[in-house]
Amino acid sequence: MNFVVSSDDLLKHLQLIAGVVPSRHVLPIVENFLFEIGKNRLTLTATDLEITMKTTLEVETRGAEMRLAVPAKLVLEILRNLPAIPITITVDEDNFGIEITSENGKYKLNGENGAEFPQVPEADNTTSVKMPANILVKAIQKTLFAASTDEHKPAMNGMLFSFTNAGVTFVATDAHRLVRYRRVDITVKEAVNFVVPQKALNLLKNSLNGMEDILTIEYNENNAFFSVGNTLLLCRLISDKYPDYENVIPTNNPNKLIIPKKELASTLRRVNIFSNKTTHQVRFKIAGSDLEISTEDIDYANEARENLKCIFDGEDMEIGFNAAFLLEVVNNVETESLVMELSTPNRASIVLPEEQNEGENMLMLVMPVMLSSYSG
């Protein structure tokens, strides 16, 4: 059998799902793409057994329907190096040999029997919710950077999806930072929480970026299914219970600091150059409308200090932060100025945009660090 397809079109669809394919796996067949060839239709699948992505495109087919496993790395390399031209892919139904023919050349590679490719889980007994794809992309962009990479904290290796009749909430934390991004313009009838792994979310972000179509999320006890247009991503959910993050968010924060985002970010970047490369500790000394940000690395006799003007309502105080963690949080603010709500030097600080966008609520939290004894 054979089919005709644009090399450029096929490459785009394969690149969409290529991030799922593992470079090495105990089950070698998952290092392949699955080509399911039907009547003028080609369905492409990639899996690592935890995450599966599928996409479909129209092709001109001749011959019987079949399933074929195609070496992922090899087919991507040849397609990247072909111009955007029609190609014919012919498959030997006896030994699964593959021949790619273009107007300028012919290329042969070995495929495998697609019947041996892992079966994709079905969306059984699921609940579903719909939202614009760009909302989920924004939730991932605003939240996922704070997720943990510590393998000993598997629940925090993903992002919490919390759906209620009051809105949908997305949370990520690594115990040093926490981001809670809430949409009050999307609701569901039955409350549910589930945790989606980071790899799946990064793949979703890349495949949905710039898309405004309606995304359908279906979920059950074990899996989540994200579908839009001709593309589907399904993943196994993280089974560990997510920490009770609400108890970490302080509710009594009498000290409020308002400061331009760009100025604070620039200062943190410069001062952090001189900080200890392990702790990245910086000191905030707030007195009236003056904010002094300083650091000292005793081992190398490095020191830096800058002063910024701010609006501060509260008691004068000193508090320490990890500059690298705080800078990521500050850069995540969309408004020109941000608000820091502070209580005491040993309690978490809340970072908020000065104004919230319609339909959403963003809250970020940064844990302080114990200040060293230098006087500044």
Residue 227 exposure: Cα atoms within 13 Å on the Cβ side: 13
- Write out pLDDT tens, residues 109-155: 999 999 999 998 888 999 999 999 999 999 999 999 999 999 999 99
Letter string b/e over residues 307-344, b meaning 16 or more CB atoms within 10 A of that residue's CB:
ebebebeeeebebbbbbbbbbbbbebbeeebbbbbbbb
Interatomic CA distance for residues 137 and 52, integer angstroms = 19
Interatomic CA distance for residues 132 and 211, integer angstroms = 8
**What does the radius of gyration of the chain's CA atoms come to, in whole angstroms?**
26
**How many beta carbons lie within 10 A of that of residue 355, not counting itself?**
11
- Write out pLDDT tens, residues 22-66: 988 889 999 999 999 999 999 999 999 999 999 999 999 999 899
Q: Per-residue pLDDT for 374 more than 70?
A: no
Q: Per-residue pLDDT for 373 more than 70?
A: no
Structure confidence at residue 375 (pLDDT): 46
Q: What is the mean pLDDT of residues 65-85?
A: 96
Give the domains, in start order, of the chain with CATH numbers: 2-116 (3.10.150.10), 127-246 (3.10.150.10), 249-366 (3.10.150.10)
- Write out pLDDT tens, residues 269-278: 999 999 999 9
Q: What is the mean pLDDT of residues 329-346?
A: 97
CA torsion sign for 268, 271, 274, 278 is negative
Maximum alpha-carbon separation in the chain: 81
Average model confidence (pLDDT) across the chain: 95
